[in-house]
Homo-oligomer: A and B are copies of this chain.
Amino acid sequence: MAYIGVVGPSVASADDVADAVALGRGLGERGHVVVCGGLGGVMAAVSRGAAQAGGVVVGLLPGASRSDANPHVTVAIPTGLGELRNGLLVRSSDVVVSVGGSWGTLSEVALAVRTGVPVVALRGWRISDDDLTGPTAVSSAAEALAAVDDLLAEASR
C-alpha cells in the first residue's frame, strides 16, 4: 500500500475526466490511498474512481470549509493554506501522477521533482530542460498505473 498523489485541473476535458476515473479505479483496486486536492475536475474524477473501487481518498482542501470537498472524498482536510496545500500533497505522496496540465499542476509537478518524489505525467505541458530528469510521460491511464507500479517496485528495492 502506498500514497499516490493525483493532481490536475479543476476544469477538466472529457478525456482527462475519463482517464482520472480509470486511474482512480486502478489505484483503489491496488489498495493505495489517493491524495488529491479534494475539489472538482480531475480531482473529483480520480476520487470517484477510487471510491468505486473501495479505496481511501484524502482531499487536502485549499479552503477552510470541509463542505468544499467533492462527494467521493473519504477524509477531507480543510487546510486553509490556499495554494500552499499543494506542497502538503507532494509531501504526503510516494508517487505523484499529473493528469492533463495547468500552471497549478506544473507547480506541483516541479515541486515533486525538486523534492525527489517520482512523477508520472499523463499528457500535459512539455518542459525542456536537458539537465534534469523530469516526469515519466505516459499517454493512458493503464500506462500511468503501470508506471506507478514500476516506481513503487523500484523504491522498495
* Contacts from A to B (Cβ < 8 Å): 3, 33, 56, 58, 60, 64, 66, 74-75, 77-84, 86-88, 91-92, 101-104, 106-108, 110-111, 113-115, 125-129, 132
In the complex, residue of chain B having the shortest beta-carbon distance to the beta carbon of A104: B114
Chain B residues, CB < 8 A from A82? 64, 80, 87, 91, 115
Q: A87-B84, A106-B106 are in contact. Are A78 and B92 (CB under 8 A)?
A: yes
In the complex, residue of chain B having the shortest beta-carbon distance to the beta carbon of A128: B126
Considering residues A58, A80, A82, A102, which has the most beta carbons from chain B within 10 angstroms of its beta carbon?
A80
Cβ-defined contact, B88 with A84, below 8 A: yes
In the complex, residue of chain B having the shortest beta-carbon distance to the beta carbon of A114: B103
Q: How far is the CA of A33 from the CA of B86 in the complex (A)?
A: 23
Chain B residues, CB < 8 A from A108? 107
CB distance from A33 to the nearest CB of B (A): 6
CB distance from A48 to the nearest CB of B (A): 19
* Residue from the list B86, B88, B110 in contact with A106, Cβ < 8 A: B110
* Residue from the list B78, B111, B113, B128 in contact with A91, Cβ < 8 A: B78
Given contact pairs A86-B111, A103-B111, a sample of 14 additional A-B residue pairs in the complex whose CB atoms are under 8 Å apart: A56-B74, A77-B88, A78-B92, A81-B84, A82-B115, A83-B87, A83-B115, A84-B87, A84-B88, A87-B87, A103-B113, A103-B114, A104-B111, A125-B128
